Amino acid sequence: MTRIVASLIAVMCLLAAPLAHAVQPDEIMKDPAQEGRARNLSKELRCMVCQNQSIDDSDAPLARDLRLLVRERIATGESDKQVLDFLVARYGEFVLLKPRLNLHTLLLWLLTPLVLIGGGFALWWHNRRRGRAAGDDEAVMTLTAEEEARIEKLIAAQSETKST
């Protein structure tokens, strides 16, 4: 049984290996330094088809076109910033997996911290109100001396019944 499971795992790993990197052999640049730059840039760019994958990991035809475009720009001598600026100008900030911090993306960057701060404030406010309400309940639960005496009498009567 363990051999079957091990065989299935090995087959699944072999089938998943081609999906690890979508870069085709004909896309790879001859200069290893330029290829490294191209791969790093490809990991920062969003596939417009898959949307949650970088173009480095995507098999979509549009991702391939973007990978080739990045490599063309690098081959002409452009810097990483120039390549990214060109792609942002052409496709918008959405092409970046990590959008830049500017006026258009300010809400995107600040939304998570604002929600966390707002949630923390709401919890604090709720606990504060709940603490006050618990304090009010204690004031309502005050018994008179006559009521306390009656309760003591009932407890004593019940204790006598249990002992007999």
**Cβ–Cβ < 8 Å for 27, 71:** yes
Indicate the CATH number for domain 2-100: 1.10.8.640
Please tell me whether residue 76 adopts helix, strand or coil conformation.
coil
Q: pTM for this structure?
A: 0.55
Domain boundaries, the chain: 2-100, 107-163
Residue 114 has pLDDT above 60, yes or no: yes
Residue carrying the six token digits 């009010």: 136
pLDDT averaged over every residue in the chain: 83
Stretch 44-70: mean pLDDT: 88
Q: Taking the CA atoms of the chain, what radius of gyration do you get in angstroms?
A: 34
